[in-house]
Chain A
Amino acid sequence: MKIFVRSLAFLICFLSVATTVHAQDIASFEKRITVKKLANGLTIILMERPEAPVFSFFTRVDAGSVQEIPGSTGLAHMFEHMAFKGTHEIGTTNWPAEKAALEKVETAYNAYLHEKLKEVGRDDKKVAELEKAWQDATTAADEYVVPNQFPEIVESEGGVGLNASTDRDETTYFYSLPENRLELWAYLESERFLEPVMREFYKERDVVYEERRMSVDSSPQGRLLEQFLAAAYTAHPYGRPVVGWPSDLHAFSATDAINFFHKYYVPANMVIALVGDLKPAEVMPMLEKYFGRIPTRPAPEPLRVKEPPQESLRTVVIRDRSQPIYLEGYHRPDFHDLDDPVYDVLADLLSKGRTSRLYRSLVRDKRIAIEAQGGSFPGSKYPNLFYFYAVPTQGHTADEMAGPIHDEIEKLKTHDVSDDELQSIKTRAKADLIRELGNNQGLAQELCEYQALYGDWRELFRQIDDLDKVTKADIRRVANKTFNEENRTVAKIVTEEPKPESPAGGKGEQQ
C-alpha cells in the first residue's frame, strides 16, 4: 500500500526493463501505436489491443493546482468537477435562457463578494441582502438544469470507471466504454472541452468543500500532510493544498473557473490516449474531426517562481487525539534532472516490499513501526521532496522514528549498497513494468503520461536504460547531497488526550 504515490517519479521506479526486453517491447508496441499531433496542437495516441470489444481513454491536461494564484487555490480541481456539468446542449432545457440566467448569477455573486470582503466600511445588512439576491438568481438559473445529464449519458451507454483527478502538475479524465461507443465518446469528450458550462457552480463548490472536510479537516493524515507541505515550501505552489484553502473555496467564482479553463485548457496542453479494440488507421480521421474543433489558443506562460534553497530545519508538531505519525522530507530536483533515476532506485531500495531497508529495520527488526517507507512527492514537474514516513507501533512515539530513519540514511551515505540489492531492484523493475501492461486503462494512463512529460511514449520503456546505469557511487553521492539537516522538514502527530473543557482537537503549532 503506497501512500504518497501518484507522482510520476514514483511511477517511474516501477517501470524499467532490462535492455533486451525493452527493445522487443518497443518494437511490439510500435506496431500497435499511432501518435498524431493535430493542427491545433492536441496530441492523440491510439493503441490497438483487441482483447475484448471495449476501450479506455485517458485525457491529460498539463495544468494543475500549481497554476493557481493566491485567493483562488482549489480552482483547478473545481474546474475538473465542472467538466461533468454538461455543455450548451447536454444538461439544459433551454440554453439561451439558462445563459442569461447564469450571467445574472455572476453579477449578483460579484456584488455580494465585493461587499463581503470589504476590509473597511462593510455593511453587514447589505451583505445579507446581496447574498439573498445571489441565491435567488441561482435558484432561477437552476430551473433550466437537467442535473447530471452528462455522466448519466456515459453511464447509460455502458461507461465504467468514470472519474477524474486533479493534482499539482496535471488534471486527468478517464473511463472505459464498449468499442461501438467510440464515436459517441469522441463527441462527448470534445464537446466537454469545447463549450463547458459553469452551471450549478456554487452548489458544486459546497460539494468540493465537503471533499476538503473529508480528506483534510477530518483526517489526521490529511491535516498532517497539509501542514507538512505548507512548511516545506515557502515560495513554490507545491506547498498549497490541491483542494484549496478554506477562504478561497468560499470566494472564487464561476467566472474565475471559466477563465482558468480558457487560459490553461489549450489544445497544445492536452494529450489523449486510447487503448482497446480499435483500429488506429480507421478511427484517427474521425477523432481528428471531433477534436480538431477545439480552437487553438496561445500556450500559457511558464511558472516563474522557484523554491529558494532551504537553509534550516523546519518542524511541524500537531498535537492531536489520533495516534502518532512521523514524516520528514528533503528537497530534490525535478524529473528532468540526471539524478532522477537515482531517486527512483533509492525509493525502491528503502520501500519496496518485504526486503526493503525501512521495512526490515523499523518494522521487522526494531519492531517500532507498523509501516515505514520513502519516496518522491508531491509532484514531478518541479523540484519536489524525497520523504520518509513511519507509523509507530503501539506504545512508540513519532520522535522514536527519527533515529532509526537517520541511521538508514547514514548507511546510504557511507556504505555502498550490495550488488545483490542493486540487481534485485533492476530485476523487479523489469517484472513490474510487464505487470503494468495488461489492461487498457493502465496502458492509456502510462502512454499518455510519458507522451505528455517526455514528448514520447517510448520513454516508458527507455527509462530502464537510465535506471540500469545507476551505480553504487551514484546512490552515495545523491544521499550525501540530499539528506542533510538544513534541507529537512519534519511533521509529526503527537498524541494528546483532550482536556475535558476543550474537546476540540486538531490544534497545531509550528516551531
Chain B
Amino acid sequence: MNRFKALLLPLSAILLNTVLAAQVPESPRTKPAPTATPAASTHEIPKSWEKVPIPTLHKFKPQEPRRIELPNGMVIFLQENHELPLIEGDIRIRGGSRDEPADKVGLVALYADVWRTGGTKNKTGDELDDFLEAHAARIEASSNTDSTFLAWSSLKDNFDQVFPVLLDLLVHPEFRQDKIDLTKQQFASFISRRNDDVDEIAGRESTKLAYGADNPYARNAEYYTVNAITRDDLIQWHKRTIAPANMIFGMAGDFDSVAMEQKLREVFGGMPKGDPFVSEPIAFHNPKPGIYFVEKSDVNQSDINMIELGIDRHNPDLFAVEVMNQLFGGSFASRLFISIRTRQGLAYSVGGGIGASFDHTGITRFAMGTKSGTTAAGIEALRKEMDRLITGNVTAQEVKTAKDAILNSFIFAFDSKEKVLSERMRYEFYGYPADFLEQYRTNIEKVTSADVDRVARKYLHPAKMAVLVVGNAKDFDKELSTFGKVTTIDIAIPQKKPEKQTGQLESAPRK
C-alpha cells in the first residue's frame, strides 16, 4: 500500500533476465465460487487434470480496517497486522496533475518531489535523509493525476521517532530553492530523454490522441512549463490541498488500533477543516479516426496502438466489459494472445481492453509490438479480431472460462490486510460503496454471453479508432497509407513555448 516513488529514473526496460509474458492490464477480481466435491484425495494420481479433487475453500473473512471520521472531515483507516514489527502507511490528498494550470504542467510532480527533498522549517531534506536512513525508515511523497501522497515505512520500535517527522513535513514543509532547482534540472533531463524508448512514446502519444493533447490527463510537461513554476506555486499548492477534509489517512502494522486512534485524534483533531478541493470538470471527445505515425529510425519493431474512449467504472456495463476484456485481450487464453501471439507468432507483447477509470472516462487501448516487416499485418490482425468480436459470436464456453478466471482469483484482491486497507481507501477516495468488491463479484456472476456481445458492439468501434504506429517506416510491409490518411506526428521536443499555444505543435497533421 505504500506508494514509494522510485527515487530514480525508471529505465527498467533493460531486461537482464527474460520473462515469459509482458504485463497485461489486470482487472479487479472476484471471490471463488463455492466448489463442491470435497472428496479427499487418495493420493492416487488421477488420469486427467479434470479428475483432480477440488475441496471447498477454507472459510475466510478478511479483516476490515477500523474507520474513523474526525469532526473536521479527515477519514482515518487503521489496520492492525501483527505478523511483522513494522508500521507503514500513507496519506492521500485530493488534487493532482489534472488540476494544475496548463502553462505550468509538471507543477504537482515537482511539488511532490520537493515536498520531501526540500525538508521542513526545522530540518533540511538532506538532514531528513540522514535521520531516516540511520533508522532504516522511509518517508516519500508522490503524485498522480488526482492526488498527492505522503507515505512512510518504519520499524515498530522507531515509529515514535519517524511519525513526528512525517507530521513536520505535512505541516511545515520548506520547499527550499536549491532542491527546486535540482528537481527542475532533473525534470528537464527526463523531458530530453522522452523519445528514447518506443513504449514511452507510444503510451504518451496514444493518450494524447485519445483524450486530446490539451486534456489534463494527457498533456506533458515541457521545458517552458517546468521553468514557469515558482517556489510560491508549490507553497500555494500545499495551502490549497492540505486540509483534513481533503485527506484520507491509512496505516497498517504492529500497533493497537484503539490507542492509535486516540493518538491520531489528538494529532489531527485540532487541524482546521479547510476548504474542500474542487476539480474543474474535464471534457472528453473521441479521437479523430485515422492512421497516426511516429518515425523512429533506430528500432526494428513497431509499437501499434488502437485507441478510443472507454467508460467510467460507475457504468453498469462495467461487469460485462470486464468479462469481455478478460476473454478478448487480458489473459494467456484471450483471443488476441492466442491468435496474434501463439498462432501467428506476430508479437511477444499483445493485449488490451476497454478502459474503465474510477472517476472519469478511461481509454480503450489495444496494443502490440511486431517486427517492422509485419507492421501492416499486425494492424490487420488486430482489426480482424475486433471485427470478429463485434459480430457477436462469443461462445458460452469463452464467457465461462473468463468468468471463472475472474471469480476464482477474486480472493487475491484481499489476501493481505494491506490490500484490504488499500481497497477501502480507494473506494473512500472515489466515493464508491464500501462493499463495492462484493457487488463486483455478484455482478460478474450475472454476466451472460449476450451481455458480452452487447458491450463489445456498444463500446468497440474498430473503424473509428485512431491507429498509432511508432516504428521504422522503411522496413514496413506496406505503406501505412493503404489503411487511410496518415497523419505524421512530430515528436521533436520544443525548446521554448510555441507562438500559438496548444498541443497542435506536437500533433500537427502533415501530408
Once the chains bind, are A204 and B345 in contact (CB under 8 Å)? yes
Once the chains bind, are B7 and A354 in contact (CB under 8 Å)? yes
Once the chains bind, are B32 and A207 in contact (CB under 8 Å)? no
For window 350-399 of A, CB contacts with B under 8 Å fall at: 353-355, 359, 364, 367, 370-371, 373, 377-378, 391-394
What CA separation (Å) do A505 and B196 show in the bound complex? 12
Once the chains bind, are A242 and B17 in contact (CB under 8 Å)? yes
Stretch at the interface among B142-150, B206-214, B406-414: B406-414
What CA separation (Å) do A430 and B16 show in the bound complex? 27
> Does A166 lie at the interface of the complex (its beta carbon under 8 Å from any beta carbon of B)?
yes
For window 6-21 of B, CB contacts with A under 8 Å fall at: 6-21
B186: A residues at CB distance < 8 A = 370, 393
How far in angstroms is the closest Cβ of chain A from B25?
13
A486: B residues at CB distance < 8 A = none
A181: B residues at CB distance < 8 A = 54
B297: A residues at CB distance < 8 A = 321, 498, 503-505
What CA separation (Å) do A411 and B13 show in the bound complex? 32
Once the chains bind, are A222 and B15 in contact (CB under 8 Å)? yes
A218: B residues at CB distance < 8 A = 198, 298-301
Once the chains bind, are A166 and B17 in contact (CB under 8 Å)? yes
> Does B35 lie at the interface of the complex (its beta carbon under 8 Å from any beta carbon of A)?
yes
A506: B residues at CB distance < 8 A = 298
> Does B393 lie at the interface of the complex (its beta carbon under 8 Å from any beta carbon of A)?
no
What CA separation (Å) do A220 and B17 show in the bound complex? 16
> Does A484 lie at the interface of the complex (its beta carbon under 8 Å from any beta carbon of B)?
no
> Does B97 lie at the interface of the complex (its beta carbon under 8 Å from any beta carbon of A)?
no
> Does B494 lie at the interface of the complex (its beta carbon under 8 Å from any beta carbon of A)?
no
In the complex formed, the residue of A with least CB distance to B128 is A354
State the main secondary structure of chain B at its contact with A: loop
Stretch at the interface among B44-52, B68-76, B98-106, B426-434: B44-52
In the complex formed, the residue of B with least CB distance to A321 is B298
Kindly identify which residue among B86, B300, B332 contacts A155, using a CB–CB cutoff of 8 Å: B332
A293: B residues at CB distance < 8 A = 45
What CA separation (Å) do A435 and B138 show in the bound complex? 12
What CA separation (Å) do A147 and B62 show in the bound complex? 37
> Does A243 lie at the interface of the complex (its beta carbon under 8 Å from any beta carbon of B)?
yes
> Does B56 lie at the interface of the complex (its beta carbon under 8 Å from any beta carbon of A)?
yes
In the complex formed, the residue of A with least CB distance to B333 is A152
Once the chains bind, are A178 and B16 in contact (CB under 8 Å)? no
Once the chains bind, are B8 and A152 in contact (CB under 8 Å)? no
> Does B343 lie at the interface of the complex (its beta carbon under 8 Å from any beta carbon of A)?
yes
> Does B415 lie at the interface of the complex (its beta carbon under 8 Å from any beta carbon of A)?
yes
Once the chains bind, are A391 and B58 in contact (CB under 8 Å)? no
Once the chains bind, are A219 and B57 in contact (CB under 8 Å)? no
In the complex formed, the residue of B with least CB distance to A78 is B18
**Interface band, chain B:** 35 or more
Once the chains bind, are B9 and A1 in contact (CB under 8 Å)? yes
A-B contact count, CB below 8 Å? Answer: 298
Q: State whether A203 and B343 are in contact (beta carbons under 8 Å apart), knowing that A156-B408, A393-B189 are contacts in the complex.
A: yes
Once the chains bind, are A438 and B83 in contact (CB under 8 Å)? yes
> Does A408 lie at the interface of the complex (its beta carbon under 8 Å from any beta carbon of B)?
no
> Does A414 lie at the interface of the complex (its beta carbon under 8 Å from any beta carbon of B)?
no
A367: B residues at CB distance < 8 A = 182, 185
Kindly identify which residue among B16, B85, B133, B332 contacts A354, using a CB–CB cutoff of 8 Å: B133
Q: State whether A3 and B14 are in contact (beta carbons under 8 Å apart), knowing that A84-B20, A434-B155 are contacts in the complex.
A: yes
For window 124-171 of A, CB contacts with B under 8 Å fall at: 142, 147-148, 151-160, 162-168
Kindly identify which residue among A53, A80, A205 contacts B60, using a CB–CB cutoff of 8 Å: A53
How far in angstroms is the closest Cβ of chain A from B408?
3
> Does B443 lie at the interface of the complex (its beta carbon under 8 Å from any beta carbon of A)?
no
What CA separation (Å) do A165 and B16 show in the bound complex? 10
Stretch at the interface among B306-314, B317-325, B346-354, B476-484: B346-354
Once the chains bind, are A180 and B57 in contact (CB under 8 Å)? yes
> Does A424 lie at the interface of the complex (its beta carbon under 8 Å from any beta carbon of B)?
yes
A51: B residues at CB distance < 8 A = 83, 415-417
How far in angstroms is the closest Cβ of chain A from B330?
10
> Does A285 lie at the interface of the complex (its beta carbon under 8 Å from any beta carbon of B)?
yes
Stretch at the interface among A208-216, A337-345, A455-463: A208-216
How far in angstroms is the closest Cβ of chain B from A392?
8
Once the chains bind, are A394 and B345 in contact (CB under 8 Å)? no
> Does A187 lie at the interface of the complex (its beta carbon under 8 Å from any beta carbon of B)?
yes
> Does A39 lie at the interface of the complex (its beta carbon under 8 Å from any beta carbon of B)?
no
**Interface band, chain A:** 35 or more
Once the chains bind, are A178 and B41 in contact (CB under 8 Å)? no
Once the chains bind, are B196 and A200 in contact (CB under 8 Å)? no
Q: State whether A427 and B134 are in contact (beta carbons under 8 Å apart), knowing that A84-B332, A178-B57 are contacts in the complex.
A: yes
Once the chains bind, are A213 and B84 in contact (CB under 8 Å)? no
Once the chains bind, are A176 and B333 in contact (CB under 8 Å)? no
Q: State whether A378 and B301 are in contact (beta carbons under 8 Å apart), knowing that A157-B408, A181-B54, A290-B45 are contacts in the complex.
A: no
Once the chains bind, are B185 and A430 in contact (CB under 8 Å)? no
For window 262-289 of A, CB contacts with B under 8 Å fall at: 277, 285-286, 289
What CA separation (Å) do A432 and B136 show in the bound complex? 8
Once the chains bind, are B10 and A1 in contact (CB under 8 Å)? yes
> Does A103 lie at the interface of the complex (its beta carbon under 8 Å from any beta carbon of B)?
no
Once the chains bind, are A214 and B332 in contact (CB under 8 Å)? no
Once the chains bind, are A187 and B43 in contact (CB under 8 Å)? no
> Does B404 lie at the interface of the complex (its beta carbon under 8 Å from any beta carbon of A)?
yes
A219: B residues at CB distance < 8 A = 13-14, 197-198
What CA separation (Å) do A152 and B136 show in the bound complex? 43
Once the chains bind, are A54 and B412 in contact (CB under 8 Å)? yes
B369: A residues at CB distance < 8 A = 210, 213-214
A437: B residues at CB distance < 8 A = 84
For window 172-202 of B, CB contacts with A under 8 Å fall at: 182, 185-186, 188-193, 196-198
> Does A485 lie at the interface of the complex (its beta carbon under 8 Å from any beta carbon of B)?
no
Once the chains bind, are A435 and B300 in contact (CB under 8 Å)? no
A153: B residues at CB distance < 8 A = 49
Kindly identify which residue among B11, B134, B185, B401 contacts A152, using a CB–CB cutoff of 8 Å: B401
In the complex formed, the residue of B with least CB distance to A431 is B136
Stretch at the interface among B236-244, B264-272, B278-286, B334-342: B334-342
Once the chains bind, are A52 and B411 in contact (CB under 8 Å)? yes
> Does B344 lie at the interface of the complex (its beta carbon under 8 Å from any beta carbon of A)?
yes
Give me 14 other A-B pairs in contact (C-beta within 8 A), A210-B349, A435-B153 excluded: A52-B414, A148-B338, A157-B404, A157-B408, A158-B405, A160-B409, A180-B56, A181-B54, A183-B54, A187-B45, A321-B298, A420-B134, A438-B86, A498-B298
The contact sample of 8 A-B pairs, CB cut-off 8 A, is: A89-B49, A147-B342, A151-B333, A165-B19, A184-B54, A207-B341, A353-B7, A427-B134
Q: Which 6 A-B pairs have the closest CB atoms?
A: A158-B408, A206-B345, A505-B298, A431-B136, A151-B332, A152-B333
Residues of B within 8 A of A (CB): 6-22, 29, 32, 35, 41, 43, 45-46, 48-49, 52-60, 62, 83-86, 126, 129-130, 133-138, 153, 155, 182, 185-186, 188-193, 196-198, 297-301, 331-333, 337-338, 341-349, 369-371, 401, 404-405, 407-412, 414-418, 472, 474
